Structure 1
Amino acid sequence: MPILEALNKLKKSRVVPFDVPGHKRGRGNSELTDFLGESCMSVDVNSMKPLDNLCHPVSVIKEAEELAADAFGAKQAFFMVNGTTSAVQSMVLSACKKGEKIILPRNVHRSVINALILGGAIPVYVNPEMNHELGISLGMTLAAVAKAIGENPEAKAVLVNNPTYYGICSNLRAITELAHQHGMLVLADEAHGTHFYFGENMPLSGMAAGVDMASVSMHKSGGSLTQSSFLLVGGAAVNPGYVRQIINLTQTTSGSYLLLSSLDISRKNLACKGKEIFRKVSQMAQYARDEINQIGDYYAYSKELINGDTIFDFDATKLSINTLNVGLAGIEVYNILRDEYDIQVEFGDVGNILAYISVGDTHRNLERLVSALAEIRRIYKKDKTGMLQYEYINPEVLVAPQEAFYAEKEALPLEQSGGRICSEFVMCYPPGIPILAPGEKITAEILDSIEYMKEKGCFMTGPEDMDIKNLNVLREG
């Protein structure tokens, strides 16, 4: 763990800090030091010769990157401290320049579309199939990707979610081989797939499938601190030096050594103990799934959904639970769990909740979740008539995202915006998949969906108007 070792060596030295940060190892901010602890504050330091430099690593960070690349089976690994958002954006900006096309599913995280706004690439959306009973969008079919490639042979890249927030995996190897046959790069958003690299009997990881770049949220299932991630580069088609230049356009020049060391430590932990860790996680998730499915009305789904196409594989560590037959929207169950039972699950949407299971969980806490869900069903169950069955709506993209975002615009009341072209985002967070993105037509169906989600208590975000009573649309004429 080169970064950790360098920090420990620094702590033992008698270096007098006349550099930033100004709290000077915590001595200048006693309240913060009391809260975080002296151990933490003493290693919140700036780049210096013994600690290397994140923007241009030549020593301990370079060595840590090489160890991470080896652990993930990658050609190069970059330490990312601006979150996986930064990794995703760097990946897209490295693959596509202004005006170039990228093929991607529409149910992507907003960070992907943000990259299109920043760089000016043009999206070619492959609308995912839907499971209407569960109300979830699925993976991209190989046939749909082939069609998009055939219609857009000049596209530079194909982006794949591996997996989706719910645990759905596309046929990543086949999509990768198809894209490479047509000279296109393959980018994998693996924000929820860190464990694919280290567990047993997991869906295929991006590097194993031969993708060119993958963004990996170590802080989700990998155990590192929030906001720390890796960007991985695969084969010879991508120049790592150019990727680093792209990363340095947006990533901080003051990389946090708390985040960097957490990546270094977590990488070592997964490389040495990953199989054992994720075997336990899988067992806990299956135990909870079995218990929840015995309650009645809830459906905790898993690998039985696999169909070899839209659901090529499923991440069984995901405890995704459909709530529609209880007569409650997922967000309603989410809120009841939080407000009445002090249980915080990852997210709730129109028809589902996701409870994120990790090595830090215990059977006792899982039993508490199961008991709470059983009691919620007993107390709150109602007729599901009139409930919205699904969340994803195929968009009508009329203007490129960058053009729409920066165009002349005007604010209209939500109910009067139908038929116009949106110039901003509207989404539930999490998961952060846009209901509307810049350049898309606002339809009556979308407006109904937004109102329904607001009514059910989804945390809506994106628009300039924080109350989402108005939307910015392209000015006509």
Structure 2
Amino acid sequence: MVEDGTSLLGAALDRARRVRDAVEKLDGIDVMGREIVDQGLAFDLDPLALTFDVSGLGITGYTATEHARSAHRVNLGASDTVRISARLTHADTDERVDRLIEVVTAPVADAPSLDPAPEVDFPSAHGLELETVMLPREAFFAEIETVPVAEAVGRIAAELVSPYPPGVPVLAPGERITREALDYLRSARAAGVLLPDPADKSLATLRVVA
């Protein structure tokens, strides 16, 4: 890094710009850029971390990632209901960047044959700020019962529910469960979100304080 860091990272930054420039020209895919910093939504942007919004193609990021894997044998870094991401390093070559551009842009032509995106009932920002009515430890170790998810509204959560990605909890022990949070979790799961935390991965039931 002392001897060649400037040239190595400079070349990586140039390649990242080439990917951004190639994808930004396409209809249906938006490239996350410094607008998130300008809007105060982030402190800064890692130029080597590339994030693409594919919702304009009518598909989910999960579908785009699976298509990249099955049709092109390329694993992308991460995905969610609307985005896919990839990360470049100084070790990537021009050939790898060409391959990345090919894979990221492929859904533009292939989208009509891919599974359409199911609707996700995204909550408001306030809808994710649940009321904590018990200490997390007390709720976690309390006497619990398992109830159908439709009957969990208003009850106190006794387990963690963190959709992945990003892996940030929507429900935590001790919080009062709301309809808005449950609608988001159920619709997100139907869209392909992973729920690694709850005892019932299908989210048909939830563990709540008795």
Matched to 1:319, the amino acid is L
Q: Alignment partner for residue 281 of structure 1, among 8, 12, 34? A: 12
Name the structure 1 match of 2:199.
Answer: 464
Is residue 302–residue 315 contact of structure 1 (8 Å, CA) maintained in 2?
no
Quick one: distance in 1 between partners of 2:99 and 2:72? 9
Q: Alignment partner for residue 120 of structure 2, among 388, 399, 405? A: 388
The 5 Å alignment of 1:105-116 reads none
Quick one: distance in 1 between partners of 2:199 and 2:141? 13
| Greater strand content | 1
Quick one: distance in 1 between partners of 2:121 and 2:48? 25
Matched to 1:387, the amino acid is E
Is residue 121–residue 188 contact of structure 2 (8 Å, CA) maintained in 1?
no
Is residue 423–residue 437 contact of structure 1 (8 Å, CA) maintained in 2?
yes
TM-score, length-scaled by structure 2: 0.82
Q: Which moved more, 1:443-452 or 1:300-309?
A: 300-309
Matched to 1:396, the amino acid is L
Counting matched residue pairs gives: 205
Quick one: distance in 2 between partners of 1:418 and 1:271? 57
Residues 176-195 of structure 1: per-residue CA shift (max 9 Å, x gap): xxxxxxxxxxxxxxxxxxxx
Name the structure 1 match of 2:161.
Answer: 426
Name the structure 2 match of 1:234.
Answer: none
Deviation at 1:385, TM superposition (A): 9.1
Matched to 2:65, the amino acid is Y
Q: Alignment partner for residue 402 of structure 1, among 137, 152, 156? A: 137
Quickly say closer, same or farther: Cα 1:385–1:458, change in 2 above 3 A: closer
The 5 Å alignment of 1:412-451 reads 412-451=147-186
Name the structure 2 match of 1:183.
Answer: none
Is residue 60–residue 117 contact of structure 2 (8 Å, CA) maintained in 1?
no
Name the structure 2 match of 1:300.
Answer: 31
Higher relative contact order (CA 8 A, sep 6+): 2
Q: Alignment partner for residue 358 of structure 1, among 89, 92, 97? A: 89
Quick one: distance in 1 between partners of 2:121 and 2:183? 13
Is residue 425–residue 438 contact of structure 1 (8 Å, CA) maintained in 2?
yes
Quickly say closer, same or farther: Cα 1:275–1:419, change in 2 above 3 A: farther
RMSD: 2.7
Quickly say closer, same or farther: Cα 1:278–1:415, change in 2 above 3 A: farther
Quickly say closer, same or farther: Cα 1:342–1:312, change in 2 above 3 A: same
SS at match of 1:355: strand
Name the structure 1 match of 2:58.
Answer: 327
Structure 1 gaps, min length 5: 1-269
Is residue 146–residue 206 contact of structure 2 (8 Å, CA) maintained in 1?
yes
Quickly say closer, same or farther: Cα 1:370–1:274, change in 2 above 3 A: same
Quickly say closer, same or farther: Cα 1:276–1:421, change in 2 above 3 A: farther
| Largest Rg, 1 or 2 | 1
**% identity of equivalent residues:** 25
TM-score, length-scaled by structure 1: 0.39
Matched to 1:435, the amino acid is V
SS at match of 2:174: coil
Name the structure 2 match of 1:316.
Answer: 47
Residues 326-350 of structure 1: per-residue CA shift (max 9 Å, x gap): 1112222122222222221121112
Q: Which moved more, 1:337-346 or 1:366-375?
A: 366-375
The 5 Å alignment of 1:145-164 reads none
1:371 partnered with 2:105: no
